Amino acid sequence: MAILLVEDDTAIRLTIAEHMEDLGVEVLDAADAETAHAILRQPPGRITVLVTDLNLGPGENGLVLAARARRRLPGLRIVYATGSPELLRNRLVRPWESLFIKPFDACRLAAEVQALDHALLSAAPPARVGG
């Protein structure tokens, strides 16, 4: 299991990554959507969960990143970790998505990521679409 953690705040990104790694989760991290897309182009099947902030600074936001990532990896689970939940107003949270409002408990986030990964393992493996 590997997660892709996308967070523009370095301190938050490192804190979450360290906590996940302490639990045995492989973490690939990016500070922006462009870097995240480069990581997602790696061989399929490695990344099972995307944890992304919604506000990623210049460039794509977390919603656009997640949509593009799901087109590439349809089985990918998404966790939005944000201090701006208003960006999700009037939008349904889909079954493969979770929302965590900052500040949040890193243990709860880790438990959610592991639960999403276990759900993915019990389903068919994600297929890669496109290139």
Contact 1, 48 (CB under 8 A): yes
Q: Which two tokens stand for residue 83?
A: 């201090």
Amino acid, single-letter form, for residue 19: H
Residue ranges covered by each domain of the chain: 43-102
**For the purposes of burial, counting CB atoms within 10 Å of the CB of 68, is it exposed (0-12), middle (13-18) or buried (19 or more)?**
middle
Question: What CA–CA distance (Å, rounded) separates 104 from 38?
Answer: 28
How does pLDDT run along the chain (131 residues), one tens digit per residue? 789 999 999 999 998 899 889 888 899 999 999 999 999 988 766 898 999 999 998 899 999 999 999 999 988 999 998 887 777 777 777 888 888 887 767 777 777 777 776 665 555 444 333 43
pLDDT at position 123, please?
A: 53
Contact 56, 12 (CB under 8 A): no
Query: In angstroms, how far is CA 34 from the centroid of its own chain?
Result: 14
